[in-house]
Amino acid sequence: MSQSSHTLSAEPVQYTLFTRVFGGIDSPELKKKLESSLKDLVAPIERIFLNDAAATAAIERACVPQKAASFVSFSSDPVHMKRWELSADIRVIKPNLPGRPGIVEANLQSLTRDFGACVAIPLLYGSDFLNRYPELLDDFWKFDNNLFPLLMIGIPPWAPLKMVKEGRAARARILGEMEALYRRIDQYQRGVPVDFCADMSDVSSAPFERNKVYEREGWSFAERGTGDFAILWGQNANTHPVLFWFLAYVYSTPSLLDRLREEIAPDVHLSEASLPEITSMDLPALSMNCQLLKACIFETYRMVNEPTSIRYVARPITIDDGEFKHELKPSMFVSAPHALINQDPTVFAHPEEFDPDRFLEIDPDSGKLMARYGRLRPWGTGVSMCKGRTFAEKEIVSLGAAIICLWDIAPASGTWELPDMIPGTGVKSPVKDIRVVITRRSL
């Protein structure tokens, strides 16, 4: 999969996804537009999400410590809840009163993935987009969980299935809102009145740069919305389910939470109040110094990620595979499911166990423990490797560290029992949510 894109190309696969899954209308004109635009459309995304300094700056703008302090609001009134709490079936066990810390029950998967989305989406498309579209998160997960996997395996969009019908309706609403967003982006960029007087001041540079490319190549606003729906999906569909699993493993693994809190403490400073607040978070230091934290993320990838690289053979090539040789001919497709080795005991000992220490190695130069990916390939391989991997990892580091520092999370049943998993669209899904009890950490 590391061969040149002139030999093993991802473009036919990307176009199929664009039209089959994300709602693009297949035509020779659209295919030509995508071919002539793709490189220039990807560049603005890479500048934010692959560049280390830019990704760090974006996360720092998200005000993670303040948002994490409101992970739950201890309110049963939707009017007073945070956006990410609305889908989590919050139940207040004890209200939060002076001298009497509150307790709530919640569904951990729903709470965590919507929390992550509410942090990430405004960093790319601005706060107005998320605020103007109250159903965005529900529609997004309905599309991701219900429609995406069915279309990927070839179920026709007209299939008389409830999941398909509801998923298509959710996709249609998302596409309509993405189209409207790009009309506003274009208006703001041209200096004309913006629909609804929408505040576009916190939209990142990437959509504006992409809009210039769309305009240059003659993309309609509907096509622009479809093009960026794929970006919206890529930004949110895998990272936030991983954050859920990361927290589930960290809080359910004996002694691991205490080890992580000790490691994180020098880089996430807390107030001295009985219920602490984060007074500062050094994200570059977290990424550099907290190797156990990173190892926990790597181990979560190993347990739940399902990356697959698919390539179209554009030129004949011979692949040496030990004693075997594989002759790949033009027009063939090659698929590499990278997760197959993740449960292979000859690669990862006791693969059924969550053991982050397996990714820690002594660095020969510094003598310090360092988290290494080793043979893990959570982002795919080659030139079409995930474009958001740097941002995604930093997002999980920051959100995970903030929640770990501020919140105690325990199973509502009294005993941690992680649910079975089913295939997802890149990350495994639990067969059911995890009901948890959440309280503020006390020092």
What type of residue sits at position 171?
R
386 is in an annotated binding site: yes
SS3 369: strand
Separation CA 228–CA 225 (nearest Å) = 5
Terminal-to-terminal C-alpha distance of the chain? 50
Ordered alpha helix ranges (H), 280-423: 283-289, 291-304, 389-406
Task: For residue 309, give the amino acid letter.
Answer: S
Structure tokens at 106: 């919640």
Burial of 311 (C-beta count, 10 Å sphere; 0-12/13-18/19+): buried
256: left (phi over 0), alpha (psi -120 to 50) or beta: alpha
Cβ atoms of residues 374 and 342 within 8 Å:
no
Closest CA to 199 of 124, 118, 128, 119: 128
Residue type for 160, please? P
CA dist., res. 60 & res. 63, Å (int): 6
3 state DSSP class of 269: strand
Q: Which residues pair with 8 in a beta bridge?
A: 313
Is 29 exposed, middle or buried (CB count within 10 Å of its CB: 0-12, 13-18, 19+)? exposed
Please answer whether residues 241 and 427 qualify as being in contact, where contact means their C-beta atoms are separated by less than 8 angstroms: yes
In whole angstroms, what is the distance from residue 404 CA to residue 256 CA? 11
Nearest to residue 394, comparing CAs of 54, 114, 68, 83? 54
Look at the chain and count its residues.
443
- Evaluate whether 148 touches 424 at the Cβ level (below 8 Å): no
Rounded to the nearest angstrom, the gap between the alpha carbon of residue 7 and the centroid of all alpha carbons in its chain is: 30
Q: Cβ distance 442 to 275 under 8 Å?
A: yes
Structure tokens at 411: 């199973």
Locate the DSSP E strands across 111-183: none
Residues flagged as binding site for heme = 386
Annotated binding-site positions: 386
